[in-house]
Structure 1
Amino acid sequence: MSTEERKGPVAPKDPTKKRPFFYIMQDKQIFAAPQPDGRGIQYIYEDMGRLQDSAKLQGNVTDEKILQMLGTAEGFRKLVHSIGVYVTEETRKETVTFVLQMYGDNQGDPATIVSKSFVADGSEQIIDLTEVDWCENDKVPGQIRFEYDRSGIQSMVDVCLYLNDGFEAPEQITDSAVDFESDAYKEMIHRSLMQKGNLERLHKVTEKAKNGEDVTLSFIGGSITQGAGAIPIHKKCYARIYADAFEEKYGNGGKVNLIKAGVGGTPSELGMIRFERDVLRDGKEKPDLIVIEFAVNDEGDETQGVCYESLVRKCLALPWKPAVVLLFAVFSYDWNLQDRLGPVGVKYDIPMVSVLDAVTPQFGLMPGEGRVISKKQFFYDIYHPSNYGHMVMRDCLMEMTAEADKCTEFEAEGDLLGREPAIGADFEKVYLVDRKDISSAEVSEGAFAGTDKVLQMVEMDSEVVPVAEFPNNWYYDGSSDDPEPFRMKISCQKLLIINKDSGEPDFGTAEVFVDGRKVLDVDPHVNGWTHCNPLIALNGAEVGLHEVEVRMAKGDERKKFTILGFGVV
């Protein structure tokens, strides 16, 4: 054999003994989402406890000392010797750049960035952290990125942390494949039928499709409905794959249209305000089905369910009587708000689907003893489902749809809105006021005359390119020592202000006054990222003319602030 024909080294070195390690990602699907500069990037945020959650979920880590160390840059440096990265792309030819970025006290502060570029052929890449020149400003592990020169590339990744001397890692567990055709899987899905309720409206949707007519399926919720955890988000999210499955089973030549209106990190308090815009598309759409998913987003709802029931009643009040389904997703610690929100479905006899009821009873079982899918397989991170998890959610919805399709007898619906609310319906008739439509208000913009372009971005419907939420806003750019307040006169009973949260230090707190009385201090740093935040400014019993004023707090006159809009009753 010639030298050129040899396939490997003549005398391979002895293998290097591997350090103890645990996974923070395992068999994780990623998608290079399009960026303005033409590149494709998958962002995975690791701050705010998410790295610790990944270690628990993917790496079987229970040692509290290790988990605590992962929460700070200093602890991470003491714990982690090196990072093992595996990226497998279909052609095995694309070059990917792995990036670990630390965060300082504020966004934009100098912080360490560790990166390595390599061919995504599935081989392990070791990044030795002992050679890194760490920045003294580092506070926490911030994010991991996978960067490609172009968008649209799908890959499978594993990332493990190799530990320094003196630390031990737990045994790493490999899951068996999920059998989606097994009787155990079907039994698990059937448990999701929390309440069948009156299935007549949903039955009419399947009949309409089988008759060859077009149908429109709509979804409103938080980040799970937006598609978080699904790779790629616009093709594998539960809403898209449910619409596909619905069309395959019930479609008879007509189109199945999808309206997907999930906004990450937001509750039904915002959902009820944006419903007409994002679901009904300002009267242009008449969805046949509306799925409401806020069961893991509403913990911070100021009204403890009144906003949720108000949204449900908005849907039930539509004159074409669409089917309404309440969907209760689940977090990895076996939690959601179905106990708080479920009475709303009971009150109006609405079909309710609980993913919690389906999957949590079997999570604690061992393979071979009844476990169908593990938490590691179901969840992309502690909050969001993986592709497998989105498939389970699709199948839970399809189970309820199948129940409706086979029904032949239904009880009379009666006057649903005449029923006494289960929690409350104070905001049932809330509508959005923003710069695009201020016909019901008299506005003096003052220093808030700008328009903020740096907004929360959301993938809508079947699109992969995100669109800006609340683009018709009022923005103060921090350019004045004595900024003129925003003023509005409006006749209303109740009022919510929607502000932009931000992690940027140059945003400041604004004060909200109603009829000369201060009612709110609005701090845009409460959530620490660019996102939409609704707050109740007025919750009156009678309609009256009110004067609303938004002014920068003392000491924050040179800080920025964005009013995204108002919810008005």
Structure 2
Amino acid sequence: MMNDEQLGPKAPKDPQEKRSGFYIMVDKILEATARLEGKPSQEVYLDEGRLAFNAQFVGGVKDENILELLKNCDSVHKVVHSIGVCVIGKDDVGTIDFVFQNYGKVDRYAGGTIIKLPCTKDGSEVILNLEDYEWSTDDDVVGKIAFEFENPGLTAQATVKVYLNDGYEVPEIEIDPPVEFGSTKYNSMISKSLLNIGNNKRLKAAIDKARKGEDVTIAYIGGSITQGAGAKPIHTECYAYRSYVKFKEMFGKNGGDNVHFIKAGVGGTPSELGMIRYDRDVLRDEKVKPDIVVVEFAVNDEGDETKGKCYESLVKNILSAENKPAVVLLFSVFADDFNLQERLSPVGNHYDLPMVSLSDAVVEQFKLTKEEGNIITKRQYFYDIYHPTNDGHTIMVDCLAHLFDQTAKDVCNEKDILLDIEPAIGNCFIEVHLIDKKDNAYGAVIKHGSFKETDEDLQFVEMDCNPLGTPEFPYNWMHTPESGDESFCLTVNSRSLLLIFKDSGRMDFGKADVYVDSTIVLTADPRATGWTHCNAVILYQEENSREHQVEIKMAADSQDKFFTILGFGYN
């Protein structure tokens, strides 16, 4: 199996002849992120059909045969001749290398071919000819491309074009004209995002506090879009930070130093995890009392087992705080127009909350030509299938600013929202609490058994204004191949319990069987999703609290593997 990096072609070739091709990236901003292993890099994932999707929505490819051929390595070689890479960067950025990686059939992350190609920084094209390289027999799918830098935080701009073999043709696309931010048509699009202005009493109270110079904290909780994915640099160009800055400019006093910022987005996670980590990641263990909380899970909650009960539990928990914070529900959208606004907006309607919908703002105009009224194309709005570009994040900022502006202008509601009402979907997880090595306030009895180590190879996220990653759930219990075979045992009095465990793409991670009161309820497989990620699953949910015995032990075929328990959520 061949998986060593190849640093150059077998032999130099003649210059690239004119070929039909399509873009998968056009003038995209790159930002080097620190990695636990390897050089700082910007990674672009192309597995799970994302290469074909990028060909379609960035490159304008409509030929179904070509799109189908892009879905596995064998057929990619039939249709793809070469890949052209153009990078523009300042001289002080240092060297930048383009990396092409296939994922393997047997060993997903280490079994496929990896090719590294030095880039120029003046915008001239370097070509990766597929026929110039030897390819691993384990190659399964095109996994990702990456741009490696010398140091984290450095930026550049890249365009990547895929050239086709003879016999395959695609139409050339026109590069989109710049978005006319602030134009009448643009502002009309932004106004469509206001799904519900809601009861404004709490939001106006926060605005009034800011105007008076009192301390105001605006917090954001959500998935990878709230984390800042697609924004470059991630910590200053993400919608969360920039809408906080906009709020400061609109309402802060003497430069807005009285307005404070909390950002708690975690990629790939739903409100099922968000409700558990709210106390630590937003309230900072009761040290912070936010005045405004923006909740963004509309594209993450497909993974919520309860289909909305966790979401409503989180929202109700925030609203029930003694300081009466305002809650804004934000509905982001994927490039395939997917979100869960229809499922989740009834929660906002039920409590009459402000709701902002990116779907309502941009999706319909995506379908129009410039002549018909298109403001921004999908190529401009999306960095990849899931995340906005800087332009996309700008639109999210302007949609939130429109809500803030309209709220400030409106007459204040006399009465506060009603909380003592039946739930819209369900709130059975309200006041959920975290148990881990650090926090066990309610005295659960824990015997860690062979899960006695601490895992430091965790999901890292950029919290608040910090460009560097902060580990999620660092106070964990890890089983290692050398630590024995004793079970992890938890005795807890609760009506609900969720297990949080670490997903991983590593081959040396294995499955664990989970028992509740001696009955197996789950076999947790950390390799099911294929990347380092926090995963919350419900072990039980009952009407009344009672004592339960929970046992976690390595599955029979995984005794010599790793497994990490990140924590538990209970109420």
Scaled by the length of structure 1, what TM-score is found?
0.95
Paired residue secondary structure (1:239)? helix
Letter in 1 for 2:296: E
1:436 paired residue number:
438
Instruction: Return the alpha-carbon distance in structure 2 between the equivalents of residues 451 and 409 of structure 1.
Output: 51
Alignment check: 8 A CA contact 1:217 1:243 kept: yes
Query: 1:213: Cα distance to partner?
Result: 2.3
1:110-144 superposed Cα distances (whole Å, 9 cap, x missing partner): 32122211331111112222111111111111111
Deviations 1:340-388 (A, max 9, x none): 1111001111000000000011111001221000011001111111111
Which residue does the alignment assign to 1:549? Answer: 551
- Per the normalisation by structure 2, the TM-score is 0.94
Opposite residue 318 of structure 1, the aligned amino acid is A
Shift of 1:212: 1.9
Shift of 1:39: 4.7
Partner of residue 103, structure 1:
103
Secondary structure, aligned partner of 2:221? strand
1:268 equivalent in structure 2: 271
- Does the C-alpha gap of structure 1 residues 550 and 35 become closer, same or farther in structure 2, counting only changes over 3 Å? closer
Instruction: Give 1:54 deviation, angstroms.
Output: 1.1
**1:413 and 2:424 aligned:** no
- State the SS of the aligned residue for 1:34: coil
Report the equivalent of 1:540.
542
SS at 2:127 equivalent: strand
Task: Provide the secondary structure at the position in 2 that maps to 1:347.
Answer: helix
SS of equivalent to 2:139 = coil
Is the deviation greater in 38-47 or in 443-452? Answer: 38-47
CA contact (8 A) 1:489 1:546 kept: yes
Q: How far apart in 2 are the matches of 1:453 and 1:285?
A: 26
Q: Which residue of 2 aligns with 1:147?
A: 148
From the superposition, tell whether residues 15 and 479 of structure 1 become closer, same or farther in structure 2 (CA, over 3 Å).
closer
Q: Which runs of 5+ in 2 are unaligned?
A: 1-13
One of 299, 304, 311 as aligned partner of 1:301:
304
| Aligned equivalent of 1:452 | 455
Specify the SS of the correspondent of 2:220. strand
Letter in 2 for 1:536: I
1:245 and 2:246 matched? yes
Contact 2:85 2:119 in 1 (8 A): no
Contact preservation (8 Å) 2:39, 2:151: yes
Q: The residue matched to 1:139 in structure 2 has which SS? A: strand
Aligned to 1:5: none
For residues 554 and 36 of structure 1, do their structure 2 counterparts lie closer, same or farther at Cα, with a shift above 3 Å needed? closer
Report the counterpart of residue 392 of structure 2 in structure 1.
389
2:262 alignment partner in structure 1: 259
Matched, 1:131 2:132: yes
1:230 matched to 2:231? The reply is yes
Which residue identity is paired with 1:549?
E
1:466 equivalenced with 2:469 (yes/no): yes
SS, match of residue 557 in structure 2: coil
CA deviation after TM superposition for structure 1 residue 284, in Å = 0.7
**Identity across aligned pairs (percent)?**
50
Count of aligned positions: 554
CA distance in 2, matches of 1:319, 1:281: 16
Q: 2: CA distance between counterparts of 1:445 and 1:39?
A: 36
Where does residue 183 of structure 1 map in the other structure?
184
TM-fit CA distance, 1:40: 3.3
2:64 alignment counterpart:
64
> Hey, what's the Cα distance between the residues in 2 that align with 1:532 and 1:153?
28
Corresponding residue number in structure 2 for 1:49:
49
Q: CA deviation at 1:306?
A: 0.3
Q: Is the 8 A contact 1:45 1:144 kept in 2?
A: yes
Equivalent position SS for 1:95: coil
Cα pair 2:202 2:416 within 8 Å, conserved: no
Partner of 2:4: none
Q: Which amino acid aligns with 1:122?
A: G
TM-superposition CA deviations, 1:473-513 (whole Å, max 9, x none): 11101236x61110011111110001111112221111111
The code of the aligned residue for 1:190 comes to: S
Q: Which deviations, in whole Å up to 9, do the C-alpha atoms of 1:495-548 show, x marking residues without a partner?
A: 000111111222111111111111111111221111011111011111111111
Which residue matches 1:6?
none
Name the SS of the counterpart of 1:230 in structure 2: coil
Aligned amino acid, residue 56 of structure 1: Q
Q: Is the 8 A contact 1:94 1:120 kept in 2?
A: no
Distance verdict in 2 for CA 1:289–1:549, change over 3 Å: same
Residue 363 of structure 1 pairs with residue 360 of structure 2: no
1:38–1:149 CA contact under 8 A, matched in 2:
no
Residue 531 of structure 1: which of 526, 530, 533 is its match? 533
8 Å Cα contact 1:98/1:116 also seen in 2: yes
Structure 1: segments with no counterpart, 5+ residues: 1-13
TM-superposed deviation, 1:150: 2.3
Q: CA deviation at 1:564?
A: 0.5
The aligned amino acid for 2:461 is V
Q: Does 1:161 align with 2:162?
A: yes
Does structure 1 retain, via aligned residues, the 8 Å contact 2:185–2:375?
yes
Amino acid at match of 2:19: R
Structure-2 change in CA distance of 1:452 and 1:15 (3 Å): closer
Secondary structure of 1:449's counterpart equals coil
* TM-aligned CA deviation for residue 148 of structure 1: 1.6
Question: 1:388-420: CA deviations, max 9, x gaps?
Answer: 110000111110011111122314125x32111
CA distance in 1, matches of 2:506, 2:68: 26
Aligned to 1:22: 22
1:329 is aligned to 2:332: yes
Q: Distance in 2 between matches of 1:285 and 1:232?
A: 26
Whether contact under 8 Å (1:289, 1:323) holds in the other structure is yes
Q: 3-state SS of the aligned residue for 1:366?
A: coil
Q: Decide whether aligned partners of structure 1 residues 170 and 433 sit closer, same or farther in structure 2, where only a CA change above 3 A counts.
A: same
Contact persistence 2:23–2:162 (CA under 8 A):
yes
Output one character per residue of 1:280-329: Cα deviation in whole Å (capped at 9) or x when no partner: 00011111110000000011211010000000001101111111100000
Greater alpha carbon shift after TM alignment, 471-480 vs 416-425: 471-480
Deviation sequence 1:2-28 (CA, Å, 0-9, x none): xxxxxxxxxxxx996411110010111
Q: 2:342 aligns with which of 334, 339, 343?
A: 339
Q: Aligned to 2:119, what secondary structure does the other structure show? A: strand
Match in the other structure for 1:427: 429
Q: Which amino acid aligns with 1:225?
A: T
Partner Cα separation in structure 2 for residue 501 and residue 514 of structure 1: 21
CA contact (8 A) 1:325 1:351 kept: yes
- 1:74 offset after TM fit, Å? 1.3
1:561 to 557, 560, 563: 563
What is the letter of the counterpart of residue 417 of structure 1? L
Is 1:515 matched up with 2:521? no
Shift of 1:152: 2.3
Deviation, structure 1 residue 240: 0.7
Match of 1:4 in 2: none
Contact 1:60–1:173, Cα closer than 8 Å, also in 2? no
> Cα deviations across residues 420-453 of structure 1 (Å, max 9, x unaligned)?
1000000001100001122421111011011111
Q: 1:91 offset after TM fit, Å? A: 4.2
Q: CA deviation at 1:36?
A: 5.8
Q: Could you say what the CA RMSD is over the residues aligned between the two structures, in angstroms?
A: 1.7
**Letter matched to residue 470 of structure 1:** F
Deviation digits for residues 46-104 of structure 1, max 9, x if unmatched? Answer: 11222111111110112222122212111222221111111111448743111111111
Aligned to 1:11: none
